[in-house]
Structure 1
């Protein structure tokens, strides 16, 4: 099902708050590296620069949200970035620590057209993409598509697993999904899932896949791995089907990336214009079609084919997870990963 197309007048109104001739200078966007950087530059950054020719966007790439948060903390007294795009759990920490600025629909008009789930913390940076956790597999090594998370514990794949641990939210998400598989209420305890993942640890080849889990699966260095649906869908196409994508029957977690204004940004006006453009129907649709991240703007027009391959095609299989609550457990769960799970691999 397609979302409604915003009229040209509405799009012009949404960008009209930022007069092209009045914006100039440079901004630094910090966001994910790899194929995300390539496609985001192609579908969002370059079109923004064409719309606002006086502004140059410098893309500073980091492999994960933890690294971006570390940069924010180290630069707190003298920020070198203007906009940061990272996961919801990290954004909530940044809000709490005073590293990110509040924004409003007055500053960023496209906020008014976002779906309700895009509000992460009232007044702060919203969701910019939706995604979900999946199991990825090499279709030669694993000829039948797995339907359960339990495939990770299959002895025949011991030593051929790439499982990303915390602090990545792939790790916390896997913990929640493992709890669901075991019938454990993760909001009360994750002891069972921790023990189960510790059982898995000796069979894991790496808890920190390099260069990434998708590459390891495609070249059959790993038979199975955890990953994100959007990237997995892209690499399934690029690999000619060498990489397969499975949504476990036990369910998955909704992953949210947010876009945020850095507190003390050197070019705040241009940074707000960029955030507004990134949330526009045109930018949202272009990135979804290119990368299979679900859009947050209700007026973005997405093809049925692309929409079906995003998390929007399987919302009924998403496990309830309050990322605000999960952020309060991040340090505790991270220590459980280090002390009980990863240590069990030795």
Structure 2
């Protein structure tokens, strides 16, 4: 009897052993580079701390990397001796890193979680790091403004003159606004942005800044601007933190997804732990936690998001129907051209 019980217990222990060993063998430190401020604070709570609890032998060091352009520059400078293991950055910049061999390709055989992602999330990075968050451009406005803006075309209201803050290209907000304005005017950014340039030129005299500093949300809260372009996730969080002093409008004319990808650095010195973190960040649990905490739309199609939080993202069915299909890799090829046209035709008209 005793012998049989021992055999059964040994068998159960053997079945459980692989998972236990996997958790125990992950150790050491990894460095995650991404955005500072409220992104870092909330990502640490929602994603990093649960990962470290699941893998107590691993410490995740979060390094604020500045803008996506600064991040890819840092990884490029470290190429011969990588100091960073995982990078979360904008897709228009991570694609540059992919082309330069800075990041690894991720295969479903090693990362089964890739099969849970939405098609556009997988497509964002191609064979490289996929989308880890979706955000979208919104019009941020002072809640005391009367009447409130109800559509993108309302930006051209005469009473807003001198109170508009726009982030112009090469800022990705300006690129997104260009595509949105072209669609509002009945065009297609893939064919031409002539209609957008004409319309934005009309708006330019009413714009107080084309380079919001520190950002459009703060300019509104400080009374410098009435409306601004911004990202939904941050606008939603700032709205909560300020008791609703600002709000975010997803224009009925449409908006576009801004995509952050998660990237495994080529030559990572602790690849096993770094790969485990990438898989965790894309998992249903991590995606749910971060969406419900900071209102980035999830990229894992199986993540079950609380309805109240989902409604504040572009992932709800009614909001998703408004999104304009945008190929950021194609826009990246046109970025310099769009930037030059903004300088010549739009910004010049606001001086």
1:9-67, Cα deviation, whole Å (9 max, x unpaired): xxxx9x95982221222211111122111100110111111211222212122343222
Helix, strand or coil: the match of 1:311?
coil
Asked if 1:138 corresponds to 2:126, the answer is no
The alignment partner of 2:211 has SS state of: coil
Unaligned runs of 5+ in 2: 1-15
- Following the alignment from structure 2 to structure 1, what is the Cα–Cα distance between the partners of residues 344 and 77? 27
Alignment match of 1:43 (pick from 46, 68, 80): 46
Structure 1, unaligned runs of 5 or more: 1-12
Greater shift in the superposed pair: 160-169 or 311-320:
160-169
Match of residue 178 from structure 1: 181
Q: Distance in 2 between matches of 1:268 and 1:201?
A: 49
CA 1:97–1:244 in structure 2 vs 1: closer, same or farther (change >3 Å)? Answer: same
Decide whether the 8 Å contact of 1:294 with 1:312 is kept in 2.
Answer: yes
Structure 2 CA distance for aligned equivalents of residues 339 and 84 of structure 1 = 35
Q: 1:136 to 1:166 in 2, by over 3 A?
A: same
- Asked if the contact 2:91–2:125 (Cα under 8 Å) also holds between the matched residues in 1, the reply is no
Contact 2:298 2:315 in 1 (8 A): no
After superposition, the C-alpha distances for 1:152-180 in whole angstroms (9 at most, x for unaligned) are 22232222211112222211100001101
The TM-score normalised by the length of structure 1 is: 0.89
The structure whose Rg is larger is 2
SS in 1 for 2:269: coil
1:248 pairs, out of 246, 251, 259, with 251
- Please list, as runs of the form range in 1=range in 2, the aligned pairs for 1:131-280 lying within 5 A after superposition: 131-140=135-144, 142-280=145-283
Q: Secondary structure at 1:167's aligned position in 2?
A: coil
- 1:256 is paired with a residue whose SS is strand
Equivalent pair of 1:64/1:168 in contact (CA under 8 Å): no
Query: Is the contact made by 2:282 and 2:299 (CA closer than 8 Å) also made in structure 1?
Result: yes
Tell me how far 1:72 sits from its aligned partner. 2.7
Q: How many residues align?
A: 332
Point out the more displaced range, 194-203 or 269-278: 194-203
Contact 2:197-2:342 within 8 A present in 1 as well: yes
* Residue in structure 2 matched with residue 108 of structure 1 by the alignment: 111
- Give the corresponding residue for 1:122: 126
Q: What is the deviation of 1:266? A: 2.4
Q: Take 2:280 and 2:194, find their aligned partners in 1: how far apart are those partners?
A: 43
Aligned residue number for residue 337 of structure 1: 342
Give the secondary structure class of the aligned counterpart of 1:19.
Answer: helix
Q: Tell me how far apart the structure 1 counterparts of residues 20 and 187 of structure 2 sit (CA, whole Å).
A: 49
For CA contacts below 8 A with separation 6 or more, give which structure has more relative contact order: 1
Give the secondary structure class of the aligned counterpart of 1:257: strand
Matched residue, 1:3: none
CA RMSD of aligned residues (A): 2.1
TM-score computed with the length of structure 2 as normaliser: 0.88
The C-alpha deviation readout for 1:254-287, integer Å capped at 9, x for no partner, is: 2221111122222222111110110111111100
* CA deviation profile, 1:309-342 (whole Å, cap 9, x unmatched): 1101201111121222222222222332334333
Alignment correspondent of 1:82: 85
Equivalents in 1 of 2:293, 2:39: separation in Å?
10
